[in-house]
Amino acid sequence: MSGLAMPAPNAAVLGRRAEIAAALRNIVPGEGVIDHPDGMRPFESDGLTAYRQMPLVVVLPENTDQVSRVLRYCHDNDIRVVPRGSGTSLSGGALPLADGVLLGLSKFNRVLEVDYQNRVAVVQPGVTNLNVTNTVQGNGFYYAPDPSSQIACSIGGNVAENAGGVHCLKYGLTANNVLGVEMVLITGEIIRLGGKHLDSEGYDLLGLMTGSEGLLGVVTEVTVRILQSPETARAVLVGFPTSEDAGQCVADIIGAGIIPGGMEMMDRPAIHAAEDYVHAGYPRDVEALLIVELDGPQGEVDDLLARVEKIAGDNNASTIRVSQDETERQLFWAGRKAAFPAVGRISPDYYCMDGTIPRKQLPRVLARTRELSEKYDLRVANVFHAGDGNLHPLILYDANIPGELERAEAFGADILKLCVEVGGVLTGEHGVGVEKRDLMPEMFNEDDLKQQQRVKCAFDEKHLLNPGKMFPVLHRCAELGRMHVHKGQLPFPDIPRF
């Protein structure tokens, strides 16, 4: 992806920059429009920092009406728009376009309503993920999806990326925890999908919006489910002599009917990096470490802890430690949660991958990853959402050494192709963005991608919202709309008729 090709900038739009900024200032007065390079600099990249691009102009609207007018203006004037939440995307989902308006939702930062009886919170999209939990936890509630960027990432961005986190094994992804949105189409039309009711009818447009990476619409309000905080939570730290043993232990826990609140695995390089960084008390003499968290009513957690310890012992666990209090539980997690920065300490740069595989393929994928590591001559550390098969290999490289970034990217692409080959997918939770865009044909054939683009055509026929992301080739909607008819006789000797 180093030679990333983005849609060619529209010269006419580039030439109208001052006029466009002025028109946007009419809609969003005051400080809400930024067109000075110094002011726009913070927006030139997101969490995928290898790629940078200055936008045409930045606009930070404050209310839905302004969003609607900005989008209608851009639609009427054929100007591209890149929506942005907190800019924490790891796949370049918010990478600006030279001829595109960057539409930031950071001013949509209010919690509008908490309705405990119906167990929902209504929030603006710029509210951070963690802030939802912080708002309700005093009353014994929390918001379940917890991506590791939760301190910074926004709920609107979570909807765009269908964010996950360690708890999604038991509590689901963003898609399972959002009940409704208010959103604005590129035409400026404001629509509502879902609400406080559990079931929605008609086409599941909310399901299509969740994970659509800013290509279908701009979310301006989100209704999320809040859950009652578990009565208690305890974590077990289990070390294994081989990753096969750890993988079997995961399979046996699930086979026993136990769905833990979280189940995370780290390999030896990741364990060492994390332990050196936070001193969580991880064993150093193991090849794989599992953190299994059980949460729920006290009586249930006590019962399941005993079952998990037994299963771990049966799978050759070399160490088993159960957290004895909340401080220790937090410490067990501290190492895992700091795994990325911990790896950042032992390498100038690292590149985080995000494939998902069927769990049983883990030993094969880890073995092949080690071979690739030798081939590309780059180290790799693995952290793994073991319960749901989501693998995060961290490829260590040094961007200052010519060719290393390209090698890291080629290595990463090979890992993702391997994930698809064993029955998995390119991205579990970080999104396609620009990063995995050109790998989409590894997983989808042309007809598969055409159907996805037809969804895009229903929402945004002119391809103005976040073009250049997700799809390797953008077909014009008129071209996609053509019917290829097969005239002829009812064709079926092989179709029984009754």
Partner 1 sequence: MSTILKPETAGGVLETIAWAAGEEKPLEVRGRGTKAGIGRPVQAEYTLDLSALTGVTLYEPDELVLSARAGTPLAEIEALLLENNQQLDFEPMDYGLIHGTETGGGTIGGVLAANLSGPRRLKAGAARDHILGVAAVSGRGEMFKSGGRVVKNVTGYDLSKGLAGSWGTLAAITDVTFKVLPRAETCAAMGSSCEISAAAHLPAEAAGRLPELASADGAVTALRLEGFGPSVAYRKEALKAVIAGAGSFDELDVGASESLWRAIRDAAPLAEGAAPLWRVSVAPTAGLDVLAALASLSVRHFYDWSGGLIWLAVDDGADDAGAELIRTAVAASGGGHATLVRGSPALRTAIPPFQPQEPALAALSKRLKDNFDPNGILNPGRMVAGG
What is d(CA 217, CA 190) in angstroms, rounded to the nearest whole number? Answer: 10
Residue closest to 244 by CA, chosen among 356, 364, 354: 364
Positions 269 through 308 that interact with partner 1 (CB under 8 A): 296-300, 302-304
- 57 beta partners: 101
Q: Are 74 and 186 in contact (CB under 8 A)?
A: yes
Q: Which is nearer to partner 1, 322 or 426 (CB)?
A: 426
The 27-56 site mask, x for binding partner 1 (CB under 8 A), equals: ------------------------------
Q: Which is nearer to partner 1, 402 or 496 (CB)?
A: 496
Q: Which is nearer to partner 1, 346 or 420 (CB)?
A: 420
Positions 373 through 412 that interact with partner 1 (CB under 8 A): 385, 388-390
Residue 276's H or E segment, with its range, is: helix 268-278
Task: Report the nearest approach of partner 1 to the CB of residue 389 (Å).
Answer: 5
Q: Which is nearer to partner 1, 20 or 193 (CB)?
A: 193
Positions 57 through 116 that interact with partner 1 (CB under 8 A): 115
Residue closest to 141 by CA, chosen among 223, 229, 224: 229
Residue closest to 211 by CA, chosen among 492, 429, 462: 429
Stretch that binds partner 1, among 72-80, 100-108, 270-278, 454-462 (CB under 8 A): 454-462
The answer to the question of residue 200 lying near partner 1 (CB under 8 A) is: yes
Output the DSSP codes for 165-233: -TTHHHH--HHHHEEEEEEE-TTS-EEEEE-SSS---SS-HHHHHTT-TTSS-EEEEEEEE-EEPPSEE
What is d(CA 340, CA 149) in angstroms, rounded to the nearest whole number? Answer: 11
Task: Report the nearest approach of partner 1 to the CB of residue 456 (Å).
Answer: 8
Sign of CA dihedral 238, 244, 250, 256: negative
The 230-259 site mask, x for binding partner 1 (CB under 8 A), equals: ---------------------x--xxxxxx
* Structural tokens at position 191: 């629509």
The answer to the question of residue 443 lying near partner 1 (CB under 8 A) is: yes
Find the helix packing angle between 362-376 and 243-255, rounded to 10°. 150
Positions 145 through 184 that interact with partner 1 (CB under 8 A): 161-162, 164, 168-169, 172-173, 175-176
The answer to the question of residue 434 lying near partner 1 (CB under 8 A) is: no
Q: Are 308 and 253 in contact (CB under 8 A)?
A: yes
Q: Which is nearer to partner 1, 168 or 383 (CB)?
A: 168
The answer to the question of residue 478 lying near partner 1 (CB under 8 A) is: no
The answer to the question of residue 15 lying near partner 1 (CB under 8 A) is: no
The answer to the question of residue 22 lying near partner 1 (CB under 8 A) is: no
Residue for token pair 């999104």: 431
Task: Report the nearest approach of partner 1 to the CB of residue 394 (Å).
Answer: 17
Task: Report the nearest approach of partner 1 to the CB of residue 149 (Å).
Answer: 15
Radius of gyration of the chain (CA): 24
Q: Which is nearer to partner 1, 125 or 230 (CB)?
A: 230
Q: Which is nearer to partner 1, 398 or 461 (CB)?
A: 461
Stretch that binds partner 1, among 50-58, 232-240, 327-335, 448-456 (CB under 8 A): 448-456
Of 12, 112, 401, 458, the one binding partner 1 (CB under 8 A) is 458
Long-range pairs, 21-26, Cβ under 8 A, ≥24: 21/57, 23/73, 23/77, 24/57, 24/59, 24/70, 24/73, 24/101
The 327-366 site mask, x for binding partner 1 (CB under 8 A), equals: -----------------------------xxxxx------
Q: Which is nearer to partner 1, 303 or 398 (CB)?
A: 303
Burial of 220 (C-beta count, 10 Å sphere; 0-12/13-18/19+) = buried
* Structural tokens at position 101: 């308006």
Stretch that binds partner 1, among 280-288, 366-374, 401-409, 476-484 (CB under 8 A): 476-484
DSSP tag of 371: H
Of 448, 473, 476, 479, the one binding partner 1 (CB under 8 A) is 448
Give the binding-site size for partner 1 (rule: CB under 8 A): 104
DSSP tag of 356: B
The answer to the question of residue 423 lying near partner 1 (CB under 8 A) is: yes
Residues 6+ apart with CB under 8 A from 68: 184, 188, 189, 190
Stretch that binds partner 1, among 47-55, 145-153, 397-405, 480-488 (CB under 8 A): 480-488
